Chains A and B, each alone.
Chain A
Amino acid sequence: MASDFTQQIREKARELLEDGTVECVIGYETGSDGISARPAFIYNAADVERLVFDNTCTHNLVKYLLNKKAKSTAVVVKGCDSRALNLLLSERQIERDKAFVVGVVCPGIVESRWNERSEQLQKRCDWCRQHTPVVSDFMVGDPVTEQPPADFADVAEEEAKTAEERAAFWQQQAERCIRCYACRQACPGCYCTDCFAESLDPEWVGIRIAPAESQMWNTIRAFHLAGRCISCNECERVCPVNLPLSLLNRKLEQKVLELFDYRAGMSEDAPAPLITFKKDEKLGIAE
């Protein structure tokens, strides 16, 4: 199946580059360890043979469209990635007619490390309820029936602790954070040219090395994605100290679903919960 996907992607990429529909195809190629995929930027039809698709294609390539705003670009997206595309479209960060979307019905992505292949499915794939891309111009694979919504067992487990234990837990995580901002760089929803993390006036996140500053960063990073996070979990994957960032994202995802019945990136038109309101809604605030 994977080789069939690869073949279809290559053929489509060749066609798009040859007829000039796009200037570049963003897809995956095999990395230098010969195992894990890495992002590939293909500008010439002669290079399409580099493109592959297999279960190590973990990156959310939609992020790269933010650097390709001027020229037409094709991008390979999985189900989760396609939600990021809708997110960026709804926030007017990219133009739909400049992006050619090659959607791939996702077979599930495995944990892969440098030089080692594993068959362990990533946890996001356990939660995933969007294997079929929600937006595409060309579909690779047959759309599948999605499972009913996942529960939030990991969130519930954390909530079973006392507030004191939770505070201690996140304090420990903050102590480990090196504030490299890899989580931000990998996130398709984090595209502000001026991030609060670098703001000096006001200095929201101080430059001193202190857990309190990291705590501030991690809390606000999560909150800025409230109702926007599309659960690709790239932030957690790229974290060099393995902070459990998905817990924060999923806590908010759960609450957004509960309060606003909203899942980010499912359509281009539905307004994100924090840019709209209903006058008579009951949210448990000052009632």
Chain B
Amino acid sequence: MQGSKTEASLLRSVAIVGVGITELKSSTPQVSYKELIFEAAQKAYEDAGLNPRKDIESFVCSSEDFLEGTSIFDEYVPDQLGAVLKPVCTISADGMYSLAAAYMQILTGLFDVVAVEAHSKASDIVNLSTVYDMALDPVYTRPLGLNASFVAGLEMSKFLHSRGAGTNHCRMVVAKNRKNALSNSLAMYGGIVEAKGESQNPVLSYPLTEYDVAPIADGAAVVVLASEDAAEHLRDDPVWVKGLGWASDSPTLETRDWLDATYVRLASKQAYQSAKLRNPAKDIQIAEIDDTYSYKELQHLEALGLIGDAKAHTLLEQGAFERDGVLPVNPSGGSIGMGHTLEMSGLVRVVELVLQLRGEADRHQIKGVETGIAQCWRGIPTTSGAVVILSNR
């Protein structure tokens, strides 16, 4: 890949000036997706002190049709966002990609204030695994009858074997994230679980067990971005978007890199370049990253380049990623502790990071953090992900 010729110094600065998020719940029969989005939007606009009809110039939403059970889901977003007769669009990806789109829209100079939306009504999906199956290549792969757990199991096996790690390390990730989630009031799956010993959980596809998979949750999140000028008028504590990157490796199972999260390596390189971070391992004090599967947290950590040549599982053993460790990873509880919210997952990471950088993360606040990183992955069978670097300075 040819690196983008980013001239960071010449770019407009962009800040996050408002965040709104619902509690994440395993099911939400009492509200529709529209009501979830409305709640998150209302909170974000109030947080930013903005009237969407007057002050917000553009809206970027995130959805995939099959997860909604509705084709062209873009049709169903404007009313509950206060975005009727405004520039509104959908990016078919994780909310962090929509954040990147909004970021670029502001950099062009076209807009000063843009809102980003993502949501999950996962509990409405009757058979999520069938939807995942539909993401496999219809000609070459789908006829083999593979499923997402099988693909994840293969990758997990390869990763653990090559690193000399074991399933016990994956259980440690789960134990850490679920324990962290206990002090996050938004989280669904907080708990104390045993990290040691053999897993008693049903094997989905060896070595992947049910325990390793982030359980689904419903919710919605809205984030408001603003240009430097607008941000400084809006609040005293904007959180700055220092750098952003997103990238894809091969979509086919046959040609991808099964060992490394190459997409994260490429995306973080782009993000570090635009943030002008020479030594990200030193500059970044907190990470909210994708843990759709337990081993993915370790794999993504290594690809982010935050731990040098060290192996993630050995640092994990030493407690480096605990809340009081050298590099707190998913102090929110991650997707394993908070719940996996499909295309909203990346935006949840962003919201959590913003709360940390504002010092508003409640009982799971890490003291004195200035710069942090959030990362997302689009799930099996993709090799696509995004990275964003935020700072309160």
Say whether A and B bind each other: no
